Structure 1
Amino acid sequence: MTVGIVSTGIYIPKDYMTAEEISALANLPIDVVKTKMGVTQKPIPGPDDHTVAMGIWAAQKALQKGNIDPKTIDLVIYIGEEHKEYPLWTAAIKLQEEIGAYHAWAFDVALRCGTTIMAIKVAKSMMESDPTINTVLLAGGYRNSDFIDYQNERTRFMFNLGAGGAAIILKKDHGENIILESDIMTDGSFSEDVVVPVGGTKEPLTAEHLQNGLYRLDVLDPVGMKARLEQKSMQNFLKVIRNSLSKSGYVETDIDYLAILHMKKSAHDYVLNELGLSSDQSTYLSDYGHIGQMDQIISLELAIESGKLKEGNLAVLVSAGIGYAWGAVAIRWGK
C-alpha cells in the first residue's frame, strides 16, 4: 500500500510588509533585514484573513486542482496554528463544514512549525492501519506575526513571521507523489524558551497586560536558548533529513529538491552545503518570510511552478518548530 499527494493549495494575503518597514519598526539597518534575516517582504493578514479562513481558502484550491469531490474525503486534519478565530475551538470541524466534506471526521494537531511534517506522518499511519480512511485533507492557516513586538530584541529571529494558509490532499494507493518515510525528534529543554507569557492559566490575561504589550511572543532565556540551539539545531536538521532518507532507502546525494522552512540566509546555506545541494535545489522564501508550518507546502508549489521539482525527483520536506521539534519526510515525486 502507498500513500500519495493528490494536490496542494496555498493562500497568500495580498497585503505585505516590506524589508524597509521591518527595518524602520525594529530600528535595524536595512542590510540586516534583507541580507542576514533574508526578508525582502512578507505577507501580513488583512481584515478578513483569519487563521482558519486562510486554511479553508487553501483547501478549496487544493480540491479544485486535484479534481476532488469533498464528499469523498474521509478525514480532515487541521495543521494550522492555535492562534485562530476563537481560543477554544476545533478548527478541523469548521474546515470540514466549509468545504463540504460531509462524510469525513476531523481533528486538530499541533507541533508549532513542525506540524505539517508530523501530520503527514500521522495521516499516513492512519491510512495504513484503517481501511475506511482513503482520502485525507490536511489544511490550516498561520498568522503568528500578530504576536511580534518589533521593539523586543529578544524576538528578533522571529521578525520574519508572516501569514498565509496551505493545504495538502493525500490518497491511499495514489500512484503519484509517493510519501516515503519520515523522521521526527523533539527536545524538551527548549519547551519554555519561547512563549506568550500571559493569557494562560499561569498568568490569566488582564487589561493591564494588553495595555503594557505583554500579550506578545517573548524569549524567557535568550542567552541559554542561543547557546543550546547553536549546539543542536543545525545538526538535528541534518539528522532528521538523513534519517528520513535512510528509512526510505536513499542517501543525501539522491536528494533533488529540499523544501525547507524560511530561516536566516546563513543557516539555509549551511544546510544546503552540508547536504551537497545547490541553491537551485531549494527555494529561499525571501518574498514570503516564515509562514510557520505552511512553508513546506509553499516551497513545493513554488518548485513545481519554477521547474525545480520534476517527474521522478526525490524531494525532502524539512521543518523545525519552537519547543523544539525537527522533522523531515521524503517524497518520490511524479508517477
Structure 2
Amino acid sequence: MSETIPHAAPDTSPPSRHRATTARRQATPTAPRGRGRRRHRGETLVGLAMTTPAVVLLLVFFVVPVALMFGLAFTNARLISPRPAEFTGTENFTTLFGDSLFWASLRNTAYFAVVVVPVQAGLALVLALLVNAKVRGRNFFRTVYFLPVVTSMVVVSLLWRFIYEPDGLLNQLISAMSLGAWDGTDWLNNPSTAMPAIMLMSVWQAVGFHMVIWLAGLQTISADLYEAAALDGASGWRLFRHVTWPGLLQTRTFVLITITIAAFSLFTQISVMTQGGPLDSTTTVVFMAVRTGYEQHATGYAAAVSLVFFVIVLTISLVQRFLTREKD
C-alpha cells in the first residue's frame, strides 16, 4: 500500500528583494513635500538677506547717481538756485565741445594716462618678479613696496607737496648732489614740471597694489611649465616670453584696465597739490566736473562733462579688453 505524498502548497510570497524593498518603504516614512518647500524658501530668504546690503549699496552709489547724471545732463540745473531745472536738450554738450578748458583737461588726462599706465604696470611687474624669487627677506620687501598703498592719498599728496616745494627735500638733494650748481625748480608751480611731478608721486603710491596683483598671477603658473621649458634649454628672457607672459594673460588684462580707470579718474592729487594749476596745466576732466558742479554750481553742465567722460572711459576699457583678450 503506497503512501500518498501531499503536494506542498506553492510559495506565493514575494521574492526576497521585493520583500526587502517593501520593508524599507514601510520603515522609512516619506518626507512631506511641505517640509522641502519650507526649507527651499528659507534658503532663498537667507540668500536674499545676504545679497541685500550689496544690492542696496550698488543702487544708492551707482545706479541712482548714473541715472541722475543722465537726467541732469540735458537740463540747466544748478546746485543752488530758486529756479527749477528746465530741459535744454543738447545745449550743455554743444557748449562743452566748444569749451577750450574741456579739451585742455582731456589732453591733460590723456597725457597722464598714457605715461602712468605702462610705467606703473611695467614697474609693478618688475617688482613682482623680484619679490617672487626665493630669496631671503622677500616678505620684508613686499611689505615695504605695499606700504604706500595703505596710506591715504590725501596724506601722500600733502607729503609730496612739501617735498616739491622750492626749499623742499627734493631741491635740497639736487643741490647737494650737484654741489650747488643747480638749485632745482618750483616743481608744482612750473607748467612744464607740475604734471610729471604728480605722475611720479602717483606711480610711487599705487605701484605696490598692482605688484600684489602681478604676484598673485605669477603664483598661479605651474612650476612644471618652467621645468619643461628649462629642459628644452629656455632661460632668462625666453622663459619669461614663452611661459611667464602667456600665463599672465588674465592678470595683465585686469591690471591694465584698473590702472587705466584710476588714471582717467585722477582727482585727489590735483585737488590737494595744484588745484588744477598752474595755468590749467594739471586740470583733469574729473577735477573740472567737480569744480564746475560744486564751486560754480552748474550741476547740469557738470553732469554733461561726467557723461562724456563716462562714455570715453567705457570705450577705452572695452577696446583695451578686446586687444588683450585670449585669442584662439
Verify same fold: TM over 0.5. Answer: no
TM-score by length of 1: 0.21
Q: Which has the higher strand share?
A: 1
TM-score by length of 2: 0.22
Larger Rg: 2
